[in-house]
């Protein structure tokens, strides 16, 4: 299984090219390329570049990865996808650009967050959310087909007004499966991205979630937390039982890479310690993937 990590923290600190160089230098086999912070920094959003510059930018990054032997196995879409505020067509256009950029980067999968209707309440709005997601993602099928990209819908969570953790559309395995299957009936361009930490926050063990997704599971956001906060910690610093999770991946015949989404770990120590924190992230990930688990849940 290839070991991968996302570019988010490194890219914010050093830019995209240097982020990819550092992922490779730390020893990772592949990268998860994050688009979701684009436009938040003062730098211009590369997804919005004029076509010629856009093609040159992402093809240039692909060429760099080719020279380093670092495939980009997955990307992460900008979010939110939907707010119901009149700006949603522009958001969808950004998703189309991100799909195109994924193809230019050579990434077969892009992780996306399912849309959440305004003031979402799962008790009464489940069907409304299902229809909304069917419409939004269904509308992206021609773009996905043109670029040969698969959208991997991620399990999320939400915080209620009282601060309690609650369900977002697709938070639980049955609902995520239903949405993916319904979309695949329209066009077979959809899969699942399992976020281990989000599963834990809703009381679902990541190993159980993986088994329920089965063949739909194509990419991972491997991260740890205390079960209550979306901490994006390095495996071993939270409550995920990593040996059991790795066993479940095998049982589910998972063929994708083991991709860490643990950027709060390097972020805690800052860009000045990035080499050291990525070196440790790599070591922890490598041992897990090789079955030499040394995290606190080691058995
Ligand atoms: Zn995630």
* Distance of CA 52 from the midpoint of ligand 1 (Å): 31
| Averaged pLDDT, 219-227 | 97
pLDDT, tens digit, for every residue of 46-93?
999 999 999 999 999 999 999 999 999 999 999 888 998 888 999 999
pLDDT, tens digit, for every residue of 83-137?
988 889 999 999 999 999 999 999 999 999 999 998 899 889 999 999 999 999 9
| CATH classification for the domain delimited by 3-289, as one of 3.40.50.300, 3.30.43.10, 3.20.20.150, 3.90.1070.10 | 3.20.20.150
Point out the least confidently predicted range of 31-45, 146-160, 167-181.
Answer: 31-45
In this structure, what token pair is assigned to residue 283? 């070591």
Phi-psi region of 270 (alpha: psi -120 to 50; beta: other; left: phi over 0): left
* Distance of CA 284 from the midpoint of ligand 1 (Å): 19
Q: Concatenate the DSSP letters of all residues of 154-195 into one string.
A: EP--EE-TTS-EE--TT-SHHHHHHHHHHHHHH-S-EEEEEE
* Distance of CA 36 from the midpoint of ligand 1 (Å): 11
* Distance of CA 123 from the midpoint of ligand 1 (Å): 24
Q: What share of the chain is helix, strand, coil (3-state, %, to 5)?
A: 50, 15, 35
* Distance of CA 197 from the midpoint of ligand 1 (Å): 8
* Domain coordinates in residue numbering, the chain: 3-289
* Distance of CA 193 from the midpoint of ligand 1 (Å): 8
pTM summary value:
0.96
* Distance of CA 95 from the midpoint of ligand 1 (Å): 17
* Distance of CA 51 from the midpoint of ligand 1 (Å): 29
Contact predicate 78/95, CB 8 Å: yes
* Distance of CA 221 from the midpoint of ligand 1 (Å): 5
* Distance of CA 282 from the midpoint of ligand 1 (Å): 18
The pLDDT-based confidence of 8 (bands split at 50, 70, 90) is: very high
Compute the distance between CA of residue 214 and CA of residue 192 in angstroms, rounded to an integer: 9
Return the exposure string of 38-53: e unless at least 16 CB atoms fall within 10 Å of the residue's CB, then b.
Answer: beeeeeeebbebeeee
- Taking 70 as the threshold, does the pLDDT of residue 41 lie above it? no
Q: How much of the chain exceeds pLDDT 70, in percent?
A: 97
Compute the distance between CA of residue 199 and CA of residue 190 in angstroms, rounded to an integer: 20
Residue 299: what pLDDT?
47
* Distance of CA 112 from the midpoint of ligand 1 (Å): 9
Return the exposure string of 213-233: e unless at least 16 CB atoms fall within 10 Å of the residue's CB, then b.
Answer: beebbbbbbbbbbeeeebbbb
- Taking 90 as the threshold, does the pLDDT of residue 16 lie above it? yes
Q: Find the radius of gyration of the CA atoms of the chain.
A: 18
pLDDT, tens digit, for every residue of 182-222?
999 999 999 999 999 999 999 999 999 999 999 999 999 99
């Amino acid at each position: 299984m290839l070991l991968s990590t996302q570019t988010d923290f490194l890219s914010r600190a050093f830019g995209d090219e240097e982020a990819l160089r550092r992922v490779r230098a730390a020893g990772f086999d592949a990268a998860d390329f994050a688009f979701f912070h684009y436009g938040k920094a003062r730098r211009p959003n590369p997804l919005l570049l004029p076509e010629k510059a856009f093609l040159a930018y992402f093809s240039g990054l692909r060429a760099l990865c080719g020279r380093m032997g670092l495939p980009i196995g997955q990307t992460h879409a900008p979010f939110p996808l939907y707010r119901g505020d009149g700006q949603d067509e522009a958001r969808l256009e950004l998703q189309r650009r991100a799909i195109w950029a994924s193809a230019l980067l050579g990434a077969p999968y892009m992780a996306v967050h399912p849309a959440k209707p305004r003031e979402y309440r799962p008790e009464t709005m489940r069907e409304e959310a299902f229809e909304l997601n069917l419409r939004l993602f269904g509308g992206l099928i021609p773009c996905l087909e043109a670029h040969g990209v698969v959208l991997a819908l991620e399990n999320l969570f939400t915080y209620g007004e009282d601060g309690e953790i609650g369900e977002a559309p697709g938070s639980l395995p049955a609902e995520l499966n239903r949405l993916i299957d319904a979309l695949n009936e329209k066009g077979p361009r959809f899969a699942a991205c399992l976020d281990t930490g989000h599963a834990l926050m809703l009381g679902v063990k990541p190993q159980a979630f993986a088994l329920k997704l089965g063949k739909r599971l194509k990419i991972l956001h491997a991260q740890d937390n205390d079960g209550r906060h979306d901490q994006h910690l390095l495996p071993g610093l939270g409550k995920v039982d990593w040996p059991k999770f790795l066993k479940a991946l095998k049982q589910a015949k998972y063929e994708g890479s083991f991709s860490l989404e643990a950027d709060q770990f390097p972020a805690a120590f800052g860009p000045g310690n990035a080499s050291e924190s990525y070196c440790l992230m790599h070591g922890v990930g490598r041992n897990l993937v090789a079955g030499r688990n040394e995290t606190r849940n080691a058995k």
